[in-house]
Amino acid sequence: MKLKRLIKGINFTEIKGSKEIEITGICSNSQLVVPGNLFIARKGNTYDGNLFITQAVKSGAIAIVTDLFDPTLKNVTQLIHKNIASIEADLAATYYSMPSNNLFMVGVTGTNGKTTTSFLVRHILNDVLPSCGLLGTIEYIIGNHRYQSTHTTPDAINNQKFLKEMINEGCKSAVMEVSSHGLEQNRLQNIHFDIAIYTNLSHEHLDYHKGMEEYAKAKQKLFKSLQKSSKKHPVSVINIDCPWSEKMVVGGAILSYGIEKEADVRATNIVLSSSVNTFDLNYQGKLYKVKSNFVGKFNVYNVLAAICVGIIAKISMERILQLVETFPFVPGRLQPVPNDLNLNIFVDYAHADDPLKNVLVTLNELKKGKIITVFGCGGDRDKGKRPKMAKVCESYSDYTIITNDNPRSEDPEIISQEIVKGFSSDAKYEVVLDRYLAIKRAIEIAEDNDTILLAGKGHEKYQIFAHKTIEFDDVKIAFELCNQKNHVSLV
């Protein structure tokens, strides 16, 4: 694509060099630059892309987007703009031919439930708009290809690139988990959604947003974007039971869902068990019986959100409910670990006090014996949730084992000490920092019909320390510890 076509409509402060050059790609990572690329020297919280311009040029970049002209650069077109973050997505969308315009797009935002809702929405849309791509916390699904996720919401360039690849692979629809970080950093700019889903809002990422109001405003951006969407009839799907839902109602068509309040799509007569949820679905004066393999009341909300998408996509209710019933489970979301020890072992991604409480409340409703919770808190993340998670465990578990999550650059001992501050003097707990030994300890002290919750890491298959990252899979390790003598195969 000619540079002049790529930058059409963008007001640069200054352009030094030819606009007639042919651009072979767009990149903001100097290590990935190939000959003919446009390099975007954007700034982050901890880095300045201008420091990598020389490396990018050596690798073959022929044009640079920067906020500062460099007279020493020769034979490179320089595009000067004072707010690079505001145009990065525009450049990417133009280069990749506005791919979201050719996909039925669903964005899912909220503190909890994004992943489960996204997987179920994909399962439903795959039936009528195959194939459905997915970008989210666990993985990126592009046609028949699956890639391990690096971010819940990829950067602005990769978002457009992945959506274009979905089209090339024959996808007709796509689901995206939309993080508050992604919204705040304009990664979703120029992605036009048909449906935006709001799940809920709770105490999370406040190390980044500095308060719930700011956090809510970040989420609100997704719903405001619908007002500028190129789609004919964009719809906001809103969890009306969440106290913050009013912040997300910013105009346009709305389909509400809930349990406690009157909603367009409402669940009543909920029956929970250790393997399935059943409830009555109320929609347009009719009553439908719903059965799903998602355990817990909080998952009823996720199922309702996905059903709303099916309704908007004009799928028959009978078919929607068939698809809901046939979906098994989402990796690392109350995922059961098979064993021959008569234990109920679950792995869940809950890594803040609110989702942890949701999971433990569910397990308390289903338990036959004691509940043993194994959890830690990630380093370099919101420290305020550490004692709160301890309080949740004391309230809803019979015994707690504090261990490592992803300590990152922090001292694991200090993290555990900050967690322990949340316990009362009567709390029953111990600290076993080695996560493998902590899981082993939980299994050793568990008795028949006890429930073990391994919380915090969910689908992750690694553990991040200050100077190394190791392979670590809660499901695999728990399975092996339970079944190492039984020669059972985990599928």
Is 0.85 topped by the overall pTM? yes
* 413 contact partners, CB below 8 Å, separation of at least 6: 433
SS3 percent helix, strand, coil of the chain, rounded to 5, is 35, 25, 40
- Taking 50 as the threshold, does the pLDDT of residue 184 lie above it? yes
Domain extents in the chain: 3-95, 99-326, 335-483
Q: Which residue has the tokens 């889903």?
A: 197
Tell me which residue of 438, 358, 362 sits closest to 400, measured CA to CA: 438
From CA 73, how far away is CA 97, in angstroms rounded?
Answer: 30
DSSP structural state of residue 18 = -
Average pLDDT rounded to a whole number, residues 275-283: 96
**Side chain identity at 30, as an amino acid letter?**
S
Share of the chain above pLDDT 70, in %: 97
- In tens, the pLDDT along 373-427 reads 999 999 999 999 999 999 999 999 999 999 999 999 999 999 999 999 999 999 9
CATH number for the domain running over 99-326: 3.40.1190.10
Share of the chain above pLDDT 90, in %: 93
Average pLDDT rounded to a whole number, residues 207-236: 90
- Taking 50 as the threshold, does the pLDDT of residue 491 lie above it? no
- Taking 70 as the threshold, does the pLDDT of residue 249 lie above it? yes
CATH number for the domain running over 3-95: 3.40.1390.10
Q: Is the dihedral of CA 473, 474, 479, 485 positive or negative?
A: positive
Average pLDDT rounded to a whole number, residues 121-125: 98
DSSP structural state of residue 140 = E
Mean pLDDT of the chain: 95
- In tens, the pLDDT along 290-324 reads 999 999 999 999 999 999 999 999 999 999 999 99
From CA 204, how far away is CA 197, in angstroms rounded?
Answer: 18
Q: Two tokens at 238?
A: 């809103």
From CA 190, how far away is CA 101, in angstroms rounded?
Answer: 10
What are the residues facing 173 on neighbouring strands?
A: 104, 132
Q: Two tokens at 24?
A: 């072979």
| DSSP H or E run through 135 | strand 132-135
With beta carbons less than 8 A apart as the criterion, state whether 457 and 405 touch.
yes
- Taking 60 as the threshold, does the pLDDT of residue 489 lie above it? no
| DSSP H or E run through 464 | strand 462-464
Average pLDDT rounded to a whole number, residues 199-203: 89
Find the distance separating the first CA and the last CA of the chain, reported in whole Å.
46
- Please identify, in words, the CATH class of the domain defined by 335-483: alpha beta
With beta carbons less than 8 A apart as the criterion, state whether 108 and 114 touch.
yes
- In tens, the pLDDT along 202-216 reads 866 555 646 899 999
Phi/psi region, residue 231 (left: phi>0; alpha: psi -120 to 50; beta: rest), is: beta
